[in-house]
Structure 1
Amino acid sequence: MKLHKAERHQVKLRIGLSGPSGFGKTYSALLLAYGITNDWSKIAVIDTENKSASLYSHLGDFNVLSLEEPFAPERYNKAIKLCEDSGMEIIIVDSISHEWQGKGGCLELHEQLGGRFQDWSRITPRHNSFIDAIIQSSCHIITTSRRKVDYSLDKDGNGKTKVMKLGTKEITREGFEYELTVNFELLNDNHLVSASKDRTGLFSGKPEFIINSTTGQKLISWCNQGVSIDSIIQEINTCNSQEELKLIYAKYPNLSSELYPIIVTRKEILDTLSNQLISNNEIIKNLKTDKHEFSIK
């Protein structure tokens, strides 16, 4: 445990888009993704919405992975891993609501176990593995989620119970928004959005707007500020001792998982060079000994 200097490194974006059906979540997500990567072929859509992503194939040659029921967390995890292994830069999970409320999703799995409170101890770790797959992904992730009207039962001034409309609520487990870099809420079928959460500061307090590729460009520009992974890798590759490698590893604690395999590879190279140097020194030493013995004879 120790303090370290706060720095903004290059990060992977975690963006949420939520809204009722027909408000343009998929279309907005695709425009956002293209603005980030500027390459349709590096975008993959994990489509749980009855192949709705294919309706926008005219936009560009993006990739689609159709995910059918059951919508268990593990199937989402497998789909995300497949996209990562295929060299995608951006994964659009459209939508995450099925993982929670869809056929074979967490709520149904909980009911199948009996629907008791203690049964969540078996479902929560599975849901958390899905959240971890998003958070720890090597790709930029855009998630979409449906919204539903949220109600409460309150008493009016006369003591009568009334149903009160509170607005809309995302169909996923409460707290997911806290994991996101930016969360956009689609407000109407004109595709206007506002940012309900914004760690970038780019959209907070700004008027409602329509997402387009420029929105993605702003986000990737913000994302690329700070120390880049490439520059740290160059720093690692110039190290000539294990002590130097340890210093770099300690210098960037927030990137430890990404840097660890690179540091291990550099250490193996240094170990190989060290062993070769020892071997060469032994050969030279033996040659000198042999020459000395020969001259004596």
Structure 2
Amino acid sequence: MRLLRLWPDESHFDFMRFRRLTFPLSAVLSIATVLLFLTVGLNFGIDFKGGTLVELQAKSGEANIAEIRHTANGFGFGEAEVQELSGQGNVLVRLPLQAGEQGQTAVMQKAHAAFDAGYDFRRTETVGPRVSGELVQSGTIGVVLSVVAVLLYLWFRFERELALGAIVGTLHDIVLTVGIFIITRIEFNMTSIAAILTIVGYSLNETVVVFDRTRELMRRYKTIPTVELLNLSINSTMSRTVMTSISSSLALLSLVLFGGEAIHGFAIVMLAGVVICTYSAIFVSTPSLIYIGLMLSGAKSAQRDSGLAQAAE
């Protein structure tokens, strides 16, 4: 019985020819993400900016969004954000952060007084300024330390050229993942940090698989051209890459469709992250070795020529 082949065993597809397109594309997307981050910013959730979040379920089965927004804005606590969820009559109301515990308590008292008659309170969350500040600090430190640890692992795991290529790919994946949050306006909260760290791990896994094969082929074929070597590395691991990407995407797609609102944003970002990491391992990390290798070779040649000149003098 012949097993299913997701990628031909003897494939010789030329992936490296696309580098002249994918490199400028990734550069433009990365720069655009940085600019959007500085100008538009992330849609921080209640975890990071504080405030009160209330999830309402209409008793009649149908929620009046305009009326809820008008009522919440009339509380006198600032502009409220009202979002209709996927469930029928299910609404999410975010109210701005108030000073002190008494301010936050007053928000909940007015919310219950205004909505108890027509809505059930399914969920309430209140985060004060101190807690939100601590969460921002802890989340930032956690992400930075995790990324630094991954980059150090890559530096010691591979030779210098391969390590630099892996670092380029990992940073590329992090930046574009943040871009997904900015463009879609998915709420950025503690779950989002978990999504970013998971994507970093997935990116690392994809890159290590390809680069392990690259290093193995470098020892086996010592005179093969760089472009041909990299194409051979990708083609020989493509069956595994396709299998991993498809299985991960199917699992995440089921979470997007049936996982509920609590993990909906996380699942969307993870699904986009799998696509980004797969693209990056093939069209960013691996092709970057061509340019990194040329640069290092040129630098070594220059140092050797400089040393010979000094010896001659």
TM-score normalised by L of structure 2 = 0.25
Greater strand content: 1
